[in-house]
Amino acid sequence: MWGADNDGDPVEGEFIDEPTWTCEYGLIRSAQGVNGVMLLDYPKSSITSEPILSYNWWSGYVNTTKFDFGPRRRENYRDFQTGGTGQPWGDANRYYVMSNGETDYDMVYSASITPNDPVWITPPAEIAMVASTEGLPTGAPNLLSIGPYEIPPGLTVNFPFAFVCAENFHTNPANADNLPGQIDRFYSNLDFTDLVQNATWAKWTYDNPGYDTDGNGYSGEATYCDGDSVYYTGDGIPDWRSALPPPAPVFWLEPIVGGIRIRFNGTMSETAVDLFSSEVEFEGYRVYCGLDERRGSMALVASFDREDFDKYVWNGDIANPRFSVLEPPFTPDSLRCLYGSTDDPCHDTSFQPLDYTSSNFFFHPDFKDSIFYFAPHDHNVYQLGVTTPIRKVYPDEPTPNLQQPDSIPADAYTAEGYLKYYEYEIVIEQLLPTIPYWINVTAFDYGEPNMGLKGLESPLTTGIKSAYPYGASDASAGGNNQVYVYPNPYRGDADYRDLGLEGRTEEDRPDYRVRAINFANLPPRCTIYIYSLDGDLVRKLDHDMDPSDPSCGHDSWNMITRNTQMVVSGLYYWVVEAEDGSTQMGKLVVIM
């Protein structure tokens, strides 16, 4: 069931898209939208073979029986014994309305129901004219019912439904002039497109088309286009899954001197098929870096997206003229094949999509009413290593034949088991070696332009990782970097927290509980000893991390002694003993 304003509230003969100030009404905006409620599913009834669906509305007037009216069929008329046919007072009347199996006519038809109508009882003339032109000023209760059901005490029955909204429903500011006499013309100026599309998405979210939820081999109903299956229903089992972005790429962090190398692989990102469109909708990647793992701290440092263009098509509708994107983005090659003007249009390099803009349209030579222009989809930052710092790790790797995976040679895979063709890298430089940086790589798609769904991006904080860049130091004889300690000296009156050296992810803890002296360039597995000048052991720290962990070279001491006391001011020695028995040592100063 759906409802909308009777005329969309035009102002001086025009629809107003943005809130505008008027002397008569104050701040107003045209009500061009529509909303509705759709039953997504219903359980089987133990009483009848198929539950009965009913839709009823009635007038909100209850002061006089003259205006107490609701659409009623002649064949199943029931006397409410209240003087009217609208407001169902009493449980018996209410149950009758819920179970009458009627689908009431739209309110604008009220004035067209004549006394000789074979199906419907004629409404009172006064209420019929108001309902057909302006709508009822007190509103009209709408009731969507299904049943009957026998529900034993303590049990529940679920009735999933969707509340659906849509824009651009009213297309003609003068459309109300067609009421009540020209109802067909009135409906021709109403655009149900957005409402139907959004209702379709709601239905698909509830039960994903083409997805075998229970694994019984049935994936829903499908039609076939050019040999491909296109599913338009699900398998009847609720999924409650909406449109999803492509899977995020897997990525690895490698600390370098003054920076971090990010390597990522998008085998799954670039080959995943969208659940609803059954197409690969991958558009690109974004690389983020932040000083902690919060969404608000992450900043975009690089991106890559495919070179493609949206085609804006003129709809030719005099009542509601506009350009709309009706199809997924086009590659430059596909546009040349469609609109190139040479004998070999696919190689017509003179055709450039961006030559045709919103002020310089493309007119199709064979179809004079076909008018459109082009615009980049996203930013078209597609030249790897040129317009974006992201580059391929294996630039000479041929495109794998995913249709015949058995034909892909073994050397086309990385050591981690991913296809080399989808392997990328980026180096973020000029980073401080004394603080951790949080990194994430996301994937995004081009969305569903024809349905107004913008591109979706994988979660920004899911799978986020951190790493410490290396400091510039000489290599020791054993091949390991020289360990260094910071801040050294440690001053109790210094604001190390604001400098990002301690307590960065522990905002709820006081300063004295987040103190830290950091050790950098550590071997992945080693033991850290801290001694007083007298040689007494103050603290022992076991550092044991996987060498592949980008933070394996870092550890910190919370300045608590092995006797669980806060360390005091003084000069201390530190010793780092690696697995092979090699050691490094140095001094650190604490001033509290």
Q: What is the amino acid identity at position 241?
A: R
Alpha helices per DSSP H over 455-545: none
DSSP 153: T
Query: What residues have CB less than 8 Å from 78, skipping those under 6 apart?
Result: 72, 93, 96, 100
- pLDDT in tens for each of the 592 residues of the chain? 999 999 999 988 899 888 888 777 788 899 999 999 999 999 888 788 889 999 999 986 666 667 788 999 999 899 999 888 888 999 999 999 999 999 999 999 999 999 999 999 999 888 899 889 988 777 789 999 999 999 999 999 899 999 999 999 999 999 999 999 999 999 999 999 999 989 998 999 999 988 889 999 998 998 887 767 778 889 999 999 888 899 999 999 999 888 999 999 999 999 998 877 778 999 999 999 998 888 988 999 999 999 999 999 988 776 667 888 888 999 999 999 999 989 899 999 899 999 999 999 999 888 877 899 999 999 999 999 999 999 999 999 999 999 899 999 999 999 999 999 999 999 999 998 878 899 999 999 998 876 667 899 999 999 999 998 887 653 333 345 788 898 999 998 888 887 778 877 777 788 878 899 999 889 999 999 999 999 999 999 999 999 888 888 899 999 999 999 999 999 999 999 999 999 999 999 999 8
Q: Do domains 250-307+382-467 and 484-591 have the same CATH topology?
A: yes
The predicted pLDDT at position 478 comes to 36
CATH of domain 250-307+382-467: 2.60.40
The predicted pLDDT at position 63 comes to 67
The predicted pLDDT at position 62 comes to 64
DSSP result, 253-322 = EEEEBTEEEEEEE-TTTTTPPPTTT-S--EEEEEEEEESSSSGGG-EEEEEEE---EEEEEE---SSS--
Dihedral angle sign, alpha carbons of residues 338, 339, 342, 347: negative
The predicted pLDDT at position 479 comes to 41
DSSP result, 207-223 = S-TT--SSSSS----EE
Q: What are phi and psi of 238, to 5 degrees?
A: -60, 140
Task: Report the top-level CATH class of 484-591.
Answer: mainly beta
Among 95, 98, 110, smallest CA distance to 142 is for 98
The predicted pLDDT at position 35 comes to 96
Q: Record the tokens describing residue 457, joined without a space.
A: 């991006």
Among 41, 363, 323, 46, smallest CA distance to 206 is for 41
Q: How far is CA 89 from CA 66, 94, 95, 97, 142, in A?
A: 16, 7, 10, 10, 15
Q: How far is CA 78 from CA 22, 95, 415, 581, in A?
A: 49, 11, 77, 97
Distance linking the first and last C-alpha atoms of the chain: 72
Q: Are 462 and 248 in contact (CB under 8 A)?
A: yes
Dihedral angle sign, alpha carbons of residues 131, 134, 136, 141: positive
Give the CA dihedral 80, 86, 92, 95, nearest 10 degrees: 150
In terms of pTM, does the model score above 0.75? no
Q: Are 589 and 488 in contact (CB under 8 A)?
A: yes
Burial level of 493, CB count in 10 A (0-12/13-18/19+)?
exposed
Bridge pairing between strands 391-392 and 371-376: unpaired
The Cα 529–Cα 27 span in angstroms is 71
Q: How far is CA 469 from CA 300, 434, 456, 524, in A?
A: 19, 8, 31, 15
Which residue do the tokens 């995004």 mark? 444
108: helix, coil or strand?
helix
In which region does residue 345 sit, left (phi positive, over 0), alpha (psi from -120 to 50) or beta (all else)? Answer: alpha
Query: What residues have CB less than 8 Å from 159, skipping those under 6 apart?
Result: 39, 41, 42, 43, 146
Q: Record the tokens describing residue 454, joined without a space.
A: 């913008």
334: helix, coil or strand?
helix
Helix (H) / strand (E) element for 206: namely: helix 193-206
Neighbour count for residue 308 (Cβ, 10 Å): 22
DSSP 73: B
Query: What residues have CB less than 8 Å from 214, skipping those under 6 apart?
Result: 235, 237
Query: What residues have CB less than 8 Å from 400, skipping those under 6 apart?
Result: 408, 412, 419, 421
Among 570, 574, 501, smallest CA distance to 541 is for 574
Q: Record the tokens describing residue 48, joined without a space.
A: 């009848």
Domain boundaries, the chain: 2-204, 250-307+382-467, 309-376, 484-591
Q: Record the tokens describing residue 117, joined without a space.
A: 């109508």
**Side-chain-facing half-sphere of 312: CA atoms under 13 Å:** 17
Largest CA distance in the chain: 112
